[in-house]
Chains A and B, each alone.
Chain A
């Protein structure tokens, strides 16, 4: 039996990215535990090889959500009594009640629901018609039908999947992985932990809203202005319901920063279950990159780093405009834009054109993809103008090295720079938070930090101390080690006090 079973949707080990790396590092950091994972992927076909060197204490099984082959394994007809359970489940789920959930799960587990019949059969069609009539309203029946199929097929796949035996289940999102978590929790009785980096339900909502009528990324696109059509509502409702179900069945919920916690609470999570565990960095890699007596009062030429891919979501244009204004006050200013430029070539070309138009050729350099670590010693300030972030590691890395930051007010930036807890806030700010897409405020912040060496020194020191105290990677690993140990020790039927 494994100690920890991760439930991963579209990430580790097949997709490279922040969440995947996080999982990878956690497994590496806890070599004494045996890990397994159920990896939820769209299809087996075209999956490719794992993108990571798999640690020795890890194995996984793949659960394809849209392969139709395993659906047809069982034949037979669904019983009217079982249809009745499913009907009640749907009505209850709309009111956030899940007393029938276990019963419905065991239906699928006990092979009572032949999936061919539930997809193509008459009884389930009649139930679908009934629910559609009640909740579907007068929008496109065709879209409603296909949305129903598209959202429910993965549910059926999850409900009939094999769950590897483990002492604790750890879901890294709500959604279908979260549903699998609920199922594992209810069928094995073992605790289920939930860690959310981004808020799955919310991300899906934005996606669904954008899918139809917001053709390109607009700044205010986080708000949906038009009412959703009935089938989009169905779509959203399915994810909301599964999300709420996951929050209800998770023994303990973790997330990166308080903004995320607020969103989780809004999506129905119990605040008392939520704990904030920010991501951390390896201190040894970054500390001491700047001299301890930095900065010197005499410095008059400065280098600003912008670390990020050149894509619209990072809002490079606001950064460029801010540099233009800042260069009026501080003529000897250099800006390095450090990140790949080939992801959105059109946007990159627009940025180049803007550089030209603002006559910033002397000030701004696009470095392309480079190792940022080599450049930290030369940087005096890190600027982040992103429209959306979760917990940007570059801020921690810069602060750890002793570099102050100017950040747009997104994700956890404010708590990273100003502190989250009282103890944290008492360290003083390690940078300045500016409104999103505000070149003037950004340039003011840049000028304020660069023209006042005392302030810079204070921020530099506060940043070093803050990262050292609160954002050590080892601290995160310890946190999860403790949680896993608690969970593994938990006897069946006992309650574990999760919060410290």
Chain B
């Protein structure tokens, strides 16, 4: 109990003019971190599996896992932000005793809708019953994993998250490696699933130990939250769809490859784009540290000055400092992530060689590195927009991102190999530019939004 007691007190000290959005902000980050871990895990398994089990079997496994991550991220995206926001509201009201029932409700919503959807999806697979059963199990586990991340992020228990992921990833790799010789493809998937199960159950145990005991199991407020925060449900869905839509289009392009009915892959596009994602770890990590320490402090000071009855001059001065800090943070981010991406671009021939990619994929890797760099900025921009509760603006940005990525990726496929990856890159640029404009106009109008837009009563 010590952990949550302390953290909740810290969150509650704010008495902020708007609700406390801390937990909410971190909810938005959930999708990036674990996904990167999964990409890493797949890369290592690629080295293990391809050698022992043969290319066809490993392709089936890899594609299955990628599909599961894509489907679960998009699916849970619909629930994720509403749940995190509702959780933040409840914590702000200081009714920490309701966390458990929110957790159970979210759990129940995701399982009850996810199970029929997952069952329907695996019925398309022309693979053994055992394999399909394992696929469904893994899908449900990963869905639950995303729900756990919401609550653990709210608790800001990064240490547990990191440890659990390390153990889970290690378990998956070991399990797949150990079980493949016995049961072949099914064994490989079973081993991987066991590792993920270890991860999910460590987190489950941690959550159950940390959240206060509660007598209720159902939280009506969460269900109502989907009405109240309908933008968030849409944002979660559209943003994750936007991240994946270029892959979907490529999997269905004329030069894609059918591995087994329903599972498709694009040999040229997939590997560079996932590889490029790994390059943005520094940006995400840096922003988490930055947001936690400096920007967030000034953000709170700004609202604290309003509440404590400061003059407009003081408030505006604080805003100036806050935007200055934000600008400085972004500048540092550009320098560091720009440096990392630059190095990756410089050494892209070596990366292509090390990852055993075809030289044809080098241009795709390059443009995807730039795209990933822009996407990291976009993610951070969206988080900052969420800080100010600009939900409609985020919805506009994510819709634009999805539409742009769909249209431009489709166009790039029509234009042929030299243009692969440009759709993704330019849609990130487009959404980033629009988001930047919306953020700066929002900050300029911050007092107007904070005051004049308040309801009368």
Contacts and interface: CB of A to CB of B under 8 A. Distances in A.
A151 B309 CA distance: 19
Contacts of A145: 451
A211 to B, nearest CB: 15
B310 A71 contact: no
B111 interface: no
Contacts of B311: 137-141
A141 B306 contact: yes
B442 to A, nearest CB: 14
B47 interface: no
A140 B308 CA distance: 8
Nearest to A128: B452
B309 A139 contact: yes
Interface stretch (A116-124, A337-345, A360-368): A116-124
A138 B315 CA distance: 11
A120 B453 contact: yes
A312 B451 CA distance: 41
Interface in B437-457: 447-448, 451-453, 455-457
A121 B309 contact: no
Contacts of A124: 452
Contact of B456 (A119, A122, A128, A143): A119
A141 B312 contact: yes
Residue picked from B307, B451, B457, most chain A C-beta under 10 Å = B451
A156 to B, nearest CB: 10
Contacts of B356: none
Contacts of B307: 142
B313 interface: yes
A143 B455 CA distance: 16
Contacts of B310: 140-141
Interface string A106-137: 00000000000001111011001100110011
Main secondary structure of the interface of A (DSSP, over half): helix
Given A68-B456, A142-B306, A122 B313 contact: no
B110 to A, nearest CB: 38
B312 A71 contact: no
A71 B456 contact: yes
Contacts of A129: 312, 447
B457 to A, nearest CB: 6
Contact size range, A = 20 to 34
A277 interface: no
A149 interface: yes
Given A120-B453, A149-B456, A133 B309 contact: no
Given A68-B457, A120-B453, A143 B313 contact: no
Nearest to A122: B448
A369 B315 CA distance: 55
Contacts of A132: 312
B456 A133 contact: no
A137 B310 CA distance: 11
A307 B312 CA distance: 52
Residue picked from B312, B453, B455, most chain A C-beta under 10 Å = B312
A153 B454 CA distance: 14
Contacts of A140: 309-311
A125 B452 contact: yes
Contacts of A138: 311, 313
Contacts of A141: 306, 309-312, 315
Nearest to A71: B456
Contacts of B455: 68
Contact size range, B = 10 to 19
Contacts of B453: 120
Contacts of B315: 141
Interface in B35-79: none
Given A138-B313, A139-B311, A142-B306, A125 B457 contact: no
Nearest to A145: B451
A122 B448 CA distance: 7
Nearest to A132: B312
A141 B457 CA distance: 18
A123 to B, nearest CB: 10
Nearest to A68: B456
A413 B214 CA distance: 66
Contacts of A119: 452, 456
Contacts of A153: 456
Contacts of B452: 119-122, 124-125, 128
Contacts of A128: 452
Nearest to A121: B452
Contacts of B312: 129, 132-133, 136, 141
Interface in B303-360: 306-307, 309-313, 315
A121 B309 CA distance: 23
Contact of B309 (A122, A125, A137, A142): A142
A453 to B, nearest CB: 64
B244 to A, nearest CB: 38
Residue picked from B309, B310, B313, B447, most chain A C-beta under 10 Å = B309
Contacts of B457: 68
A71 B455 CA distance: 12
A155 to B, nearest CB: 13
B315 to A, nearest CB: 6
Contacts of B456: 68, 71, 119, 149, 153
B314 to A, nearest CB: 8
Contacts of A71: 456
A133 B447 CA distance: 14
Interface in B272-310: 306-307, 309-310
Nearest to A137: B311
A150 B454 CA distance: 13
A158 to B, nearest CB: 16
A120 B451 CA distance: 9
B361 to A, nearest CB: 51
Residue picked from A122, A124, A140, most chain B C-beta under 10 Å = A140
B306 A125 contact: no
A142 B302 CA distance: 13
B312 to A, nearest CB: 4
Contacts of A143: 309
Nearest to A72: B456
A314 B321 CA distance: 56
A125 B313 contact: no
B319 to A, nearest CB: 12
Residue picked from B310, B315, B456, most chain A C-beta under 10 Å = B456
A380 to B, nearest CB: 56
A455 B312 CA distance: 67
B313 to A, nearest CB: 7
A433 B309 CA distance: 47
Residue picked from A120, A133, A138, A141, most chain B C-beta under 10 Å = A141
A139 B453 CA distance: 21
A144 B371 CA distance: 47
Nearest to B457: A68
Interface in A199-250: none
A487 B455 CA distance: 43
Nearest to B309: A140
Interface in A18-61: none
A405 B126 CA distance: 107
Nearest to A144: B312
A420 to B, nearest CB: 47
19 contacts: A68-B455, A68-B456, A68-B457, A71-B456, A120-B452, A120-B453, A121-B452, A122-B452, A129-B312, A129-B447, A132-B312, A136-B312, A141-B306, A141-B309, A141-B315, A142-B307, A142-B309, A143-B309, A153-B456
Interface of A: 68, 71, 119-122, 124-125, 128-129, 132-133, 136-143, 145, 149, 153
Interface of B: 306-307, 309-313, 315, 447-448, 451-453, 455-457
Given A119-B452, A141-B311, A153-B456, 14 more contacts: A68-B456, A120-B452, A120-B453, A124-B452, A125-B448, A125-B452, A129-B447, A136-B312, A138-B311, A139-B309, A141-B309, A141-B312, A142-B306, A145-B451
The 7 closest A-B CB pairs, nearest first, are A140-B309, A138-B311, A141-B312, A125-B452, A68-B456, A125-B448, A145-B451
